[in-house]
């Protein structure tokens, strides 16, 4: 049996134990919004079942991250900076675990990104099941459940949690800080009931098989959809910020007031922002917001899929949830599916 | 992906952003807007580049930018770049002089396939500062002149005062090694040569399309028209090489700025065969 049963009150002991060894980040409510935050005591954690508005990618790929420190003068020098500390991401939902698995591939691909990979190496991921809200559509992109990519995974079955170990590290931590017992047949049955119920809870769906989406997007390049949503989009880049698989960045320098020392850092960038593809001569390769939206959506459903395998949209619905003008990625995708059904 | 396996190696990886210290040996004015910098790498080792590749150049405090290499491959530790002052970093670079230091990393990207064009007639078509990366290739092939057939360079500039490497062009031509034709976009009182966009030079040219390779580097707007003209000459797509310009921040296939569909220009380019990107949307 792969599940262990953990009493609800056992969670506090697990968190308290983890806090002794690691920095712990988990879901909290901040300004009324579900977010990830720093956990200092078991009571800080609010094991929400609803999706957090911002993804946990910031703990693996910080919004601002120093890459180098430099000094000028007689003996100029640069020193690489790789900041990574042991940390636990607690309460990560399946969609976000899928997203982290994709980022793992991206940053290991070609020239390995040591900053991300070291941080990732030192990160323990404890997943938890969730309940979809009206924006979620993980079922439509096959990310409702997750088989790997976590150290521990908690399934809430009402009376307690069924705990799944994904790694030896996770197993040891569970053993060290909590008391669990073998889950019984009834409890496992309960879990499968809950998972079946969850499937019926989605308000948003994708009206085609996920495997057909790259082809549908590739055939939708000239769709009128792009110009229409481009005409209402503000080009604010909020969708880029909240997306768990958006990883584009800018590299910049900061110099201290002494003009001798400084640092080179990377900061999240967004392909929806106007200057993203603009070159020094002034030419902009994606001038209009419609072109930029098409690029962003295609990155999720086609371009990155070709390169890394797997859809880069994990169905978290965050971009739709945050969009100021209600551009909804699932609705747009369904519209493209409908167009493609009409003109196959 | 089995992360634990890849993780065990990460402790040994060094940061790909680490740069090498270099020193400016000479600065020469090329035109009003461009300077040619001869740079020596302080560690004494070669840059090891191929024509068409680029480096990430930085001046601490002013940031980093992709810069094409303008000199041919060299076993020594020296190389040249020719830079127009258009941004923060390039303006700062123009303020540097002999003995000033800067940082480089690279070379990056895929350059011109020098081996694949051996024995062919070469048709170089450059627009504006497109001649900068092309100079690396031209100098490379001129060093092995007997390995190639006829050579033509068609070079389009906005106005005569923007012609780069004037002396070198004269020198190359004088040596009888390459036929060079320059055109300015618009008539200019001091210009006695050809006028019109660079494609207007092509019609009279007689080529053997079975043994001609065309190398095209210029501003984004130029490619579409040059490709049409080369089509008229019946040069096959796999014999046409283009170097694409894109915004780049990392040079490592991560930051996303240079992406065209599934392609990262900094990795798969900047030099492409036309046959590989003809149907790639947003490429040309």
Nearest CA in chain B to A114: B15
Phi, psi dihedral angles at B244 (to 5 degrees): -95, 135
Does B52 lie in the same domain as B30? yes
> What pLDDT was estimated at residue A1?
56
Alpha-carbon span A306 to B274, nearest angstrom: 21
Residue B2 pLDDT greater than 70, yes or no: no
Residues of A in contact with B65 (CB under 8 A): 280
DSSP string, B145-182: GGGS--EEEEEEESSGGG--SHHHHHHHHHTTS-EEEE
At B175, the pLDDT band (50, 70, 90 cuts) reads confident
3-state secondary structure of A158: coil
How confident is the model over B48-72, as a mean pLDDT? Answer: 96
pTM of full prediction above 0.90: yes
Nearest CA in chain B to A272: B257
3-state secondary structure of A125: strand
Domain boundary among B74, B108, B142: B108
Does B51 lie in the same domain as B84? yes
User: Is residue B89 less than 8 Å (CB to CB) from chain A?
Assistant: no
User: Is residue B279 less than 8 Å (CB to CB) from chain A?
Assistant: no
**Does residue B284 lie in a domain region?**
no
Does B93 lie in the same domain as B122? no
pLDDT tens digits, A199-230: 999 999 999 999 999 999 999 999 999 999 99
Residue A33's beta-bridge partner residues?
Answer: A30
Does B222 lie in the same domain as B124? yes
Q: Give A173's contacts (C-beta < 8 A, 6+ positions apart).
A: A14, A17, A18, A124, A151, A152
Residue A164's beta-bridge partner residues?
Answer: A3, A153
Inter-chain CB proximity A279 and B246 less than 8 Å: yes
Domain boundary among B64, B79, B108: B108
Q: Give the H/E segment covering residue B16.
A: none
Residue A46 pLDDT greater than 90, yes or no: no
**Does residue B252 lie in a domain region?**
no
- Chain centroid to CA B237: how far? 20
Does B210 lie in the same domain as B239? yes
Alpha-carbon span B13 to B4, nearest angstrom: 15
The question of ipTM being above 0.95 is answered as no
Half-sphere exposure of B257 (CA within 13 A, CB side): 26
At A25, the pLDDT band (50, 70, 90 cuts) reads very high
Token output for A253? 């320098």
Alpha-carbon span B20 to A281, nearest angstrom: 27
How confident is the model over B59-81, as a mean pLDDT? Answer: 96
**Does residue B280 lie in a domain region?**
no
How confident is the model over A49-55, as a mean pLDDT? Answer: 87
Cis peptide preceding A2, ω within 30 of 0: no
Does B100 lie in the same domain as B42? yes
Which B residues 64-83 touch A at CB under 8 Å? 64-65
Does B220 lie in the same domain as B177? yes
**Does residue B3 lie in a domain region?**
no
Alpha-carbon span A131 to A47, nearest angstrom: 12
Residue B5 pLDDT greater than 60, yes or no: no
- Phi/psi-derived region of residue A201, left when phi > 0, alpha when psi is between -120 and 50, beta in every other case: alpha
Q: Which of B274, B244, B237, B243 is nearest to B259 (CA)?
A: B244
How confident is the model over A316-333, as a mean pLDDT? Answer: 97
Nearest CA in chain A to B99: A74
> What pLDDT was estimated at residue B267?
96
> What pLDDT was estimated at residue A219?
95
**Does residue B234 lie in a domain region?**
yes
Question: Tell me, what CATH number does B90's domain have?
Answer: 2.40.30.10
DSSP class of A300: I
Question: Tell me, what CATH number does B122's domain have?
Answer: 3.40.50.80
Buried b (16+ CB within 10 A) or exposed e, A7-27: eeebbeebbebbbeebbbbbb
Helices (H), B208-270: 220-232, 265-268
Residue B208 pLDDT greater than 70, yes or no: yes
Of A221, A255, A279, the CB nearest to B61: A255
**Does residue B156 lie in a domain region?**
yes
Inter-chain CB proximity B10 and A271 less than 8 Å: no
CA distances from A308 to A104, A179, A214, B241 (A): 10, 40, 13, 27
Inter-chain CB proximity A80 and B61 less than 8 Å: no
pLDDT tens digits, A268-278: 999 999 999 99
> What pLDDT was estimated at residue B12?
56
Alpha-carbon span B138 to B130, nearest angstrom: 12
How confident is the model over B46-75, as a mean pLDDT? Answer: 96
How confident is the model over A283-310, as a mean pLDDT? Answer: 94
Q: Give the H/E segment covering residue A92.
A: strand A87-92
> What pLDDT was estimated at residue B176?
78
Of A68, A247, A283, the CB nearest to B18: A68
Does B239 lie in the same domain as B125? yes
**Does residue B120 lie in a domain region?**
yes
Chain A interface mutation, best of B6, B43, B222, B257, highest count of A Cβ atoms under 10 Å:
B257
At B10, the pLDDT band (50, 70, 90 cuts) reads very low
At B13, the pLDDT band (50, 70, 90 cuts) reads low
- Domain ranges in chain A are 3-199, 210-342
Inter-chain CB proximity B60 and A109 less than 8 Å: no
Q: Which of A36-50, A127-141, A294-308 has the lowest mean pLDDT?
A: A36-50
3-state secondary structure of B202: coil
Residue A76 pLDDT greater than 70, yes or no: yes
> What pLDDT was estimated at residue B62?
93
Residue B216's beta-bridge partner residues?
Answer: B125, B242
Phi, psi dihedral angles at A258 (to 5 degrees): -75, -5
Q: Is A121 exposed, middle or buried (0-12, 13-18, 19+ CB in 10 A)?
A: middle
- What is the number of domains present in chain B? 2
> What pLDDT was estimated at residue B3?
36
> What pLDDT was estimated at residue A306?
81
pLDDT tens digits, B234-277: 999 999 999 999 999 999 999 999 999 999 999 999 999 999 99
- Scanning the structure block, which residue is given the tokens 């450059």? B126
**Does residue B261 lie in a domain region?**
no
Q: Is A61 exposed, middle or buried (0-12, 13-18, 19+ CB in 10 A)?
A: buried
Instruction: Please state, for a pLDDT cut of 90, what percent of chain B lies above it.
Output: 91
Helices (H), A78-152: 94-108, 114-121
Residue B4 pLDDT greater than 60, yes or no: no
Find the angle CA(A230)-CA(A235)-CA(A238) to the nearest 5 degrees: 120
Instruction: Please state, for a pLDDT cut of 90, what percent of chain A lies above it.
Output: 88
User: Is residue B19 less than 8 Å (CB to CB) from chain A?
Assistant: yes
How confident is the model over B70-95, as a mean pLDDT? Answer: 96
DSSP string, B84-128: E--SHHHHHHHT--TT-EEEEEEEESB---GGGGTTSEEEEEEEG
Alpha-carbon span B35 to B28, nearest angstrom: 6
**Shortest Cα distance, chain B CAs vs residue A18, angstroms:** 20
Alpha-carbon span B252 to A293, nearest angstrom: 24
Residue B6 pLDDT greater than 60, yes or no: no
Find the helix packing angle between A289-298 and A224-232, rounded to 10°.
Answer: 120
Owning domain of residue B202: 114-243
Inter-chain CB proximity B247 and A279 less than 8 Å: yes
Instruction: Please state, for a pLDDT cut of 70, what percent of chain B lies above it.
Output: 95
Does B97 lie in the same domain as B57? yes
pLDDT tens digits, B128-173: 999 999 999 999 999 999 999 999 999 999 999 999 999 999 999 9
Residues of B in contact with A278 (CB under 8 A): 247
Does B127 lie in the same domain as B217? yes
What does the mean pLDDT of chain A come to? Answer: 94
Of B60, B246, B254, the CB nearest to A113: B254
3-state secondary structure of A344: coil
pLDDT tens digits, A97-152: 999 999 999 999 999 999 999 999 999 999 999 999 999 999 999 999 999 999 99
> What pLDDT was estimated at residue B264?
96
Token output for B282? 């947003």
Residue B66's beta-bridge partner residues?
Answer: B56
Residues of A in contact with B110 (CB under 8 A): none
């Amino acid at each position: 049996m792969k599940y262990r049963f953990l009493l609800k009150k056992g969670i506090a002991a697990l968190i308290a134990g983890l806090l002794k060894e690691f920095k712990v980040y988990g879901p909290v409510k901040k300004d009324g919004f579900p977010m990830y935050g720093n956990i200092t005591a078991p009571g800080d954690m609010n094991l929400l079942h609803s999706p957090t508005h911002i993804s946990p990618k910031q703990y693996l790929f910080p919004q601002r991250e120093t890459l180098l420190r430099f000094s000028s003068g007689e003996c100029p020098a640069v020193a690489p900076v790789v900041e990574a500390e042991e940390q636990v991401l607690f309460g990560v939902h399946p969609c976000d675990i899928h997203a982290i698995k994709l980022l793992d591939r991206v940053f290991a691909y070609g020239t390995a990104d040591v900053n991300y990979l070291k941080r990732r190496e030192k990160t323990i991921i404890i997943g938890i099941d969730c309940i979809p809200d009206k924006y979620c559509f993980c079922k439509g992109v096959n990310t409702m459940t997750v088989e790997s990519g976590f150290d521990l995974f908690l399934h809430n079955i009402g009376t307690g949690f069924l705990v799944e170990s994904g790694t030896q590290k996770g197993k040891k931590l569970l053993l060290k800080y909590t008391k669990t017992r073998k889950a019984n047949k009834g409890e496992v049955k309960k879990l499968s009931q809950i998972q079946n119920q969850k499937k019926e809870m989605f308000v948003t769906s994708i009206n085609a098989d996920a495997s057909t989406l790259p082809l549908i997007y590739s055939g939708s390049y000239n769709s009128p959809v792009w110009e229409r949503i481009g005409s209402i989009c503000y080009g604010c880049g909020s969708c880029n910020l909240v997306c768990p698989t958006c990883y584009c960045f800018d590299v910049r320098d900061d110099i201290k007031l002494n003009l001798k020392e400084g640092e080179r850092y990377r900061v999240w960038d967004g392909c929806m922002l106007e200057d993203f593809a603009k070159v020094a001569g002034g030419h902009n390769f994606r001038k209009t917001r419609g072109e930029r939206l098409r690029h962003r959506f295609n990155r999720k459903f086609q371009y990155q899929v070709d390169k890394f395998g797997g859809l880069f949209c994990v169905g978290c619905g965050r971009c739709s949830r945050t969009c100021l003008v209600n551009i909804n990625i699932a609705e747009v995708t369904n519209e493209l599916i409908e167009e493609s059904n009409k003109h196959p | 992906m089995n992360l634990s396996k890849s993780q065990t190696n990460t402790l040994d990886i060094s940061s790909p952003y680490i740069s090498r210290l270099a020193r400016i040996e000479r600065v020469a004015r090329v035109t009003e807007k461009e300077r040619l910098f001869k740079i020596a790498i302080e560690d004494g080792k070669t840059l090891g580049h191929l024509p068409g590749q680029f480096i990430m150049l930085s001046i601490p405090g002013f940031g980093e930018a992709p810069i094409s290499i303008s000199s041919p491959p060299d076993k020594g530790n020296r190389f040249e770049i020719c830079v127009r002052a258009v941004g923060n970093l390039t303006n700062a670079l123009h303020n540097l002089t002999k003995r000033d230091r800067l940082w480089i990393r690279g070379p990056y990207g895929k350059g011109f396939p020098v081996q694949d064009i051996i024995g062919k007639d070469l048709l170089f078509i450059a627009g504006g500062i497109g001649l900068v990366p092309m100079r690396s290739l031209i100098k490379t092939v001129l060093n092995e002149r007997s390995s190639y057939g006829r050579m033509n360079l068609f070079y389009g500039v906005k106005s005569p005062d923007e012609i780069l490497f004037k002396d070198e062009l004269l020198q190359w031509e004088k040596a009888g090694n390459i036929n060079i034709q320059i055109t300015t976009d618009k008539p200019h009182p001091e210009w006695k040569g050809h006028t019109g966009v660079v494609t207007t030079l092509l019609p009279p040219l007689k080529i053997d399309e079975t043994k001609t390779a065309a190398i095209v580097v210029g501003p984004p707007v130029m490619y579409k028209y040059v490709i049409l003209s080369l089509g008229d000459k019946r040069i096959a797509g796999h014999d046409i090489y283009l170097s694409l310009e894109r915004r780049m921040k990392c040079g490592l296939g991560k930051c996303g700025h240079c992406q065209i569909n599934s392609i990262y220009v900094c990795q798969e380019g900047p030099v492409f065969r036309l046959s590989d990107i003809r149907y790639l949307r947003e490429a040309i």
